[in-house]
Amino acid sequence: MTISAISVRFDEHTMWVELSDGRTLGIPLAWFPRLLHATPDEREQVELSRVGLHWEALDEDISVAGLLAGRGDVTRSTEHAA
């Protein structure tokens, strides 16, 4: 069985993703800077697919598998202290 997103909503600090298996995930917007800095209207332009979430105007793609694994924006560069 593939678990997919069936709805997405936002509050000030969190993206709430309702899944097809009945769970609801609360994901900090800080994990996804493009969503954090987007307007409420831009956030609402999400497209749901069998495997994830897509925002065309924001160039943002988030997989359900990644959310379940606890992964945030993997496109960010990681800075290491010297």
Which mean pLDDT values do the consecutive 10-residue runs of the chain (82 residues) have? 93 97 97 96 96 96 95 66 46
- Residues ≥6 apart with Cβ < 8 Å to 82: none
pLDDT at 1: 66
Q: Identify the three-state secondary structure at position 30.
A: helix
Helix, strand counts (H, E) of the chain: 3, 6
pLDDT at 73: 86
pLDDT at 80: 46
pTM of the model: 0.86
pLDDT at 82: 44
- Amino acid at position 60, single letter: E
Which domains can be identified in the chain, with CATH numbers?
5-68 (3.30.2020.40)
The runs of H, that is alpha helices, within the chain are 33-36, 40-43, 64-68
